[in-house]
Amino acid sequence: MKYRILHYGEEPLKKVSEPVNDIDNDIKILVKDMFETMYAANGVGLAAPQIGKNIRVVVIDCGDDPLAMINPSIIKKKGKEKGPEGCLSFPGLSENVIRATNVVAEYIDPEDGELYEVEAEGLLARAIQHEIDHLNGIVFVDRMPEARRSQIKNELDIIKRGGSLRSETEEEEETDDSLFEAR
């Protein structure tokens, strides 16, 4: 089932999410639905708060192996880089954000319930940091300098009202099923 993705300003995006204590069939179905929702929106990551569920569940697919993470946490960070970042909860907005270049994250796999570590760099490292921020009630614009947030206030207000910064052409392309190939 595809969920509606919440926009900036909606309350669940600012709440700290609760840990998942039991990986039952409902959690497995939620993970499947989150992947479906993320792919339909042409995203690379989605956190449960973005669909109104304040639990610590994240899905990511940067083009290699899809990754579903229950109760993820970053245990090591290395390096720093400024790079472009977007978010499904901020349609059409892309801004530079400083993130660690390399991370090691710990998480529970929803399929087998086992604890794993993933070492990541590049886009995957950025996506893991971004999605874990969502679980902590932090959105990527919170990582930007206050001066830059003031400069894009009008754009943020449009998104807060449920709008998008994408052109009509971009939105039409998004609904073209041929663009949603499995990664």
* Catalytic positions: 131
Phi/psi for 128 (5° steps) reads -60, -45
**In the numeric block, which tokens belong to residue 79?**
């390096």
Buried b (16+ CB within 10 A) or exposed e, 12-36: bbeeebeebeebeeebeebbebbbb
Using DSSP's 3-state secondary structure scheme, residue 49 falls into: helix
Sign of CA dihedral 141, 88, 11, 131: negative
